[in-house]
């Protein structure tokens, strides 16, 4: 199945500035990225609960979850996380790419490899995607 995006980004609004820079770097590297600010026209008027579920479950090759302490307290990030986890569970494939600051997430096993955001500069993240 052809995917609309190479990667979807899930993050709390408190981390928007960092994730915006990552999204811009990914886009500049010709990586098709779902980042909400790039999709405002496509999101306009949509039932976002249903639409975002479809995107995070079915429309990308990978889902990067930027997990900081705020991530767990947000309604939308929890919705995105659940949709992405359902995809990973159902299809039994490497789909979730957690990037965190050591915050634990329900249902995300500690055996899943992650990138520690305390140690990685954002310019390195787009290089990682180019190697996928």
Torsion 12-18-21-27 (CA) sign: negative
Tell me the pLDDT tens digit for each residue of 18-34: 899 999 989 998 999 99
Tell me the pLDDT tens digit for each residue of 30-80: 999 999 999 999 999 999 999 999 999 999 999 999 988 888 899 999 999
Give me 86's structure tokens: 């359902």
pLDDT at residue 8 tops 90: yes
Angle at CA of residue 77, ends 72 and 79, nearest 5°:
110
Tell me the pLDDT tens digit for each residue of 80-112: 999 999 998 887 778 888 888 777 777 777 778
Q: Name the pLDDT band for 10 (thresholds 50, 70, 90).
A: very high
- Domains present along the chain, CATH in parentheses: 5-130 (3.40.50.10140)
> According to the model, what pLDDT value does residue 79 have?
95
Q: Name the pLDDT band for 7 (thresholds 50, 70, 90).
A: very high
φ, ψ at 83 (rounded to 5°): -65, -45
- Alpha carbons 51 and 74: distance in angstroms, whole number: 18
pTM of the predicted protein model: 0.88
> According to the model, what pLDDT value does residue 123 have?
58
């Amino acid at each position: 199945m052809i995917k609309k995006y190479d990667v979807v980004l899930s993050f709390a609004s408190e981390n928007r500035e960092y994730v915006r820079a990552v999204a811009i770097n990914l886009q500049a590297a010709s990586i098709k990225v779902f980042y909400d600010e790039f999709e405002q026209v496509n999101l306009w008027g949509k039932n976002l609960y249903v639409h975002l579920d479809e995107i995070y479950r079915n429309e990308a090759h990978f889902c990067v979850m930027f997990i900081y302490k705020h991530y767990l307290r947000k309604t939308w990030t929890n919705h995105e996380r659940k949709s992405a986890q359902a995809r990973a569970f159902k299809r039994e494939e490497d789909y979730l790419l957690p990037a965190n600051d050591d915050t634990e997430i329900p249902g995300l096993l500690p055996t899943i490899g992650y990138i520690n955001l305390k140690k990685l500069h954002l310019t390195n993240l787009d290089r990682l995607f180019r190697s996928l």
